Amino acid sequence: MNRITKTSQVALIYSVAAVLIGALLYSLAEPTIGRAGAPINDTFLITQQITDEISFLTTAADVTMVGSIQGVTGGAATGTTFAVVRTNSNSGYTMDISFSGAPAMRGTSTLSQAIRDFATSSTMMQPNFTFTASTAAQFGYTVSASTTSDLDPSFLNDGSTCNAGAGYTADRCWMTPSTTAYRIINRSTSAPTGATTSLSFKVVVPNNPSPSVDEDFYVATATLTATNQ
């Protein structure tokens, strides 16, 4: 009888142990089993670089000066042209102007260089507020922009001096033409629909100029260079 009871006790112990071990194994396996049908996430990136680009929507047209100038008694003539630049550069763009020769304007037949580059000194480094008269014939230019802040600071003024203040005055801040590129636009934002730059030119021949100005057609060649910043 005692042997049967002892055997029963052992069997019960084994049974309980088996149940406990089974419960333990199930508890360990349950998180995996229980979530077997749940969704899992895998996040990743898709990257595409868009590079900057710049172009002339409108290129500057050739200029025919307007105004009658006599070779001896003199006179004045003006002309304008404009260019439109489009760019997607977040930092904007710059524009420089340069001329093919010095002096910039020369006679096509006589090769006369009597029309001098406008200058207030032999080392003119920035625009002058007015187009100052001289005993010689002169050729110079100034710039305006559809957005005044696009102008290089040298073409802005404080009412009397260029490269000072932040104002713009039409037909002021005249610059000498140069074979060295000169900065005229310094825009700091993109121009997705285009930004317009206008250039005005002036030729002034005083009465009885020195040197004398031969009869001829006088031509200057200018180049605009726009660069993304």
- Report the pLDDT value the prediction gives residue 12, as an integer from 0 to 100: 59
pLDDT of residue 19: 55
Task: Give the pLDDT confidence score for residue 31 in this predicted structure.
Answer: 54
Which spans in the chain are helix H?
2-34
What local confidence, expressed as pLDDT, does residue 11 receive?
Answer: 57
Residue 195, pLDDT score:
98
- pLDDT (0 to 100) of residue 123: 86
Integer Cα distance of 183 and 168 in angstroms: 16
- pLDDT (0 to 100) of residue 37: 82
pLDDT score, position 35 = 56
Residues of the chain scoring pLDDT < 50: 1-2, 4
pLDDT reported for residue 122: 83
For residue 15, the model assigns a pLDDT of 65
Query: Residues with Cβ < 8 Å from 44, sequence gap 6 or more?
Result: none
Report the first-to-last Cα separation within the chain, whole angstroms. 103
| Two tokens, residue 71 | 């070779």
d(C-alpha 226, C-alpha 189), whole Å: 14
Structural tokens at position 3? 């042997």
DSSP SS3 for 161 = coil
What DSSP assignment string belongs to 170-192? Answer: TT--BB---SS-EEEEEE-S-EE
| Pair 229, 88: CB distance under 8 Å | no
